[in-house]
Chains A and B, each alone.
Chain A
Amino acid sequence: MTLSLFDGLTALLLVILAWRCLVVPDLFRGIVLFVVFGLLLALTWARLDAPDLALAEAAIGAGILGVLLLGTWRALGSPRSGETPASSLSRWLQIASGLGSALLAGLVAWALHLVPGSEGGAGTLAVEELPLPATGQPVTAVLLDFRSYDTLLETAVLLMAVVGSWLARSSLLDAIAGNDATTDTPVVPALVRLFAPVLLVVGAYLVWAGAHSPGGAFQGGAVLAAAGVLMALGRVLGTAPNVGWLLRLLMVLGLLVFISAGLLLMPTEGSFMAYPERWAGLIMHLVEYALALSIALSLLLLFTGAPGLRRLG
């Protein structure tokens, strides 16, 4: 019974946090509440037997996204954007929307209550097939073997988001490219020297560990990106207006390795992304590391908002 009390409180708190983060007029508080919501969600994933997701949520969902949100809040800058305007909808429309949302929630809740769960379907097969592939961890097996095609395509989504963010940059920003978003306290560089190497090691470990325990390219990549964010904040890394070829190559490395491995082996293996049994483990590790590097760099570039990076000191 203690567990269900814990569950009840977590679920209630999730709902309250989400509600507050959407209705508080102050943008900054809304963002902070959203980040806390993300962290609680990570805890929830861990509770619901999804440690992979817990890591991903903490690193990507709450971590990187939180930093991006706060960065945007800073960039909005002017005082009037601190308070978001109240809804322009009429009172009746708001009530209608509230009733509609309640109806939606009620229907979905009832449906989720009725749905039996997927016994005998793909999930059962995935658990049964598991000893065969080189990856021992079920979620990694799904991501890099059974449904590796989805993983490959989602890497392309990340690339598009970065290119899109570059395009969204106003040409005006390039004129003030030296103006890096940093804090000027002396504490930060010291912290960077302390934590950045630790994060780099943790990130690399997570990628390696993905094969047999929770972790993987996305979680590891996000932690590597966090190290980069720290270095950018501590003025170890600065932004540059142009992308060098090396940076570009690293950004698409995961995509290139993934696609080439699939295409090169397709004639002999008969289908795309089927690997010979002897090499499967090695190829998947190679893909994971390449993906992690590309993901880390893409997330970092999304944070700095500039196309290039350079070493400052």
Chain B
Amino acid sequence: MAGLDVYALAAAVLMGLGFHGLVTQPHPLKRLLAVNVFGNGVFLALIVLARRLPDGPDPIPHAMVLTGIVIAVSATAFGLALVRRQAQDRERGDD
């Protein structure tokens, strides 16, 4: 098991990186990426925990992560539409 705990460590570091990116990056697209990195850290943590069940991987965290991925991608896609719109508004403002 000890060999696999590196993923738990990676999950924690991804969360830290995502948080730092969100605080320090000014560009909205970068901030969206940072939140996604943080989210992927959370997902990785869930999957690491799922493996600690002795009778095989726990399907519930797997389902949670699948749901989480769809929600995060939906929200990010909407965020990207807003980023595009913001850029257009800015260009129009410059004209």
Contacts and interface: CB of A to CB of B under 8 A. Distances in A.
Contacts of B25: 22, 84, 87
Report the contact-size class of chain B (Cβ under 8 Å from the partner). Answer: 35 or more
> Which of A48, A88, A173, A218 has the most chain B CB atoms inside 10 A of its CB?
A48
A61 B61 CA distance: 17
Interface in B67-90: 67, 69-71, 73-78, 80-85, 87-89
Interface stretch (A4-12, A182-190, A240-248, A260-268): A4-12
A287 to B, nearest CB: 15
Interface in B14-34: 14-21, 23-27, 29-30, 33-34
A248 B36 CA distance: 29
Interface residues of A, number: 97
A113 B8 contact: yes
Contact of B80 (A7, A23, A48, A72): A72
Contact of A50 (B62, B73, B80, B83): B62
Nearest to A168: B81
A179 interface: no
B32 to A, nearest CB: 9
Contacts of B51: 48-49, 117
B69 to A, nearest CB: 6
Contacts of B89: 170
A164 B37 CA distance: 23
A16 to B, nearest CB: 10
Contacts of B16: 101-102, 104-105, 108
Pairs A-B, 6 closest by C-beta atoms: A117-B52, A4-B3, A105-B16, A123-B58, A109-B12, A138-B59
11 contacts: A48-B51, A49-B57, A76-B29, A86-B26, A94-B24, A98-B20, A105-B15, A112-B48, A123-B53, A139-B62, A147-B63
Given A1-B3, A14-B14, A18-B37, 14 more contacts: A22-B20, A53-B47, A65-B76, A85-B27, A87-B26, A105-B16, A122-B60, A147-B63, A150-B63, A157-B74, A165-B77, A168-B81, A168-B84, A168-B85
